[in-house]
Amino acid sequence: MMKKVQKMQQDMLKMQEELKNRTVEATAGGGAVTVVVTGRKTVEKVTIAPSAVDPEDVEMLEDLVTTAVNEAMRKVDEMIEKKWAKLLAG
C-alpha cells in the first residue's frame, strides 16, 4: 500500500511538471484576439489583430480579450481534469 502511495505522489509531481510546460491557445472574434495560457494558468501571450483595435469601440476589444482568456482557462481546466482522471485511473 505504501509503495502505491509513493508511486502516486511521484506521478502527481511528474504531472504537475508536465502541466507547467504545456500551453493552450484560445481565440475570440474569429481570431481577432488570441491568448496563450500555461498549464499553471499563467497568461503567456496575448495577440490582438490590428483590425480589432477600434478607438470608437474599446468595449468590444475588452470583451474579446475577456472571452479569449476565459476560454483558455477553461481549456486548461479541461486538460488538468483529463490528466487527473488518467492518473487516478491507474
Residue type, 46: V
Give 46's strand partners: 35
pTM of the prediction?
A: 0.81
How many C-beta neighbours within 10 Å does residue 25 have? 15
Task: Give the tens place of pLDDT for each residue, 67-87.
Answer: 999 999 999 999 989 888 887
From start to end of the chain, where are the E strands? 23-28, 33-38, 43-48
Task: Give the tens place of pLDDT for each residue, 3-35.
Answer: 888 888 888 888 888 888 899 999 999 999 999
Strand, helix or coil for residue 53: coil
Residues 6 or more apart in contact with residue 64 via CB below 8 angstroms: 28, 29, 32, 33, 52
Task: Give the tens place of pLDDT for each residue, 32-53.
Answer: 999 999 998 999 999 999 999 9
